[in-house]
A and B are shown apart, each in its own frame.
Chain A
Amino acid sequence: GAVVSQHPSWVICKSGTSVKIECRSLDFQATTMFWYRQFPKQSLMLMATSNEGSKATYEQGVEKDKFLINHASLTLSTLTVTSAHPEDSSFYICSASPGRGFTEAFFGQGTRLTVV
């Protein structure tokens, strides 16, 4: 199956700093990638839809200036958590689909962010 890789797998940062998370589709091109956030013992909540070459579409309640998304190529999308605070600590997961008849979305392994 298609492989989606996230980096880093985990990160600890100080409050007030920014953190960048990468999501790569390793063996296919993805015009669209999705970013989710998952708090402990909760479901995945969609944060934004990342479109290659255009601005991301954010879900209601998600601050676009805080969660910067860049989809610079067909295989890479990045999520930057700016001025991170402890409440931003969460599990961030990306997904991508090859499209063209593929209906399934493939997920990265996730990034555990801890803000101290």
Chain B
Amino acid sequence: GQQLNQSPQSMFIQEGEDVSMNCTSSSIFNTWLWYKQDPGEGPVLLIALYKAGELTSNGRLTAQFGITRKDSFLNISASIPSDVGIYFCAGQYNFGNEKLTFGTGTRLTIIP
């Protein structure tokens, strides 16, 4: 099945640093979603984007829906230990009960 390309694949940062990751697709999506997955758990929704060019924040997280509808990025400011995990972007073509296409994931590790 199709996957979205996420970069970087992994990040090793120190606590307090800012984080930036992005997601690109060869096809357009009408909704972009960002999820975080902890080990052995299902993904948890962080931010949802519904409009091209939209910039949305959720606490220390900020995400943008690319103007071409083929990309999105997620920023995390002032990282803390609980930010450790795997971040996935997901694209959805239609609203509601429409399947998601997931990105390859970015694994975030915080170095003590």
Contacts and interface: CB of A to CB of B under 8 A. Distances in A.
A97 B97 contact: yes
Contacts of B103: 43
Contacts of A100: 96
A43 B33 contact: no
Q: Please classify the interface of chain A as helix (H, G, I), strand (E, B), loop, or mixed, using the class held by over half of its residues.
A: loop
- Interface size class for chain B? 20 to 34
A23 to B, nearest CB: 10
A46 B99 contact: yes
B102 interface: yes
Interface in B17-54: 31, 33, 35, 40-45, 48, 50
Nearest to B9: A41
B1 A107 contact: no
Interface of A: 1, 4, 6, 30-32, 34, 36, 42-46, 49, 59-61, 91, 93, 95, 97, 99-110, 112
Contacts of A6: 42
B66 interface: no
A46 B100 contact: yes
Contacts of B65: none
Contact of A103 (B35, B95, B102): B95
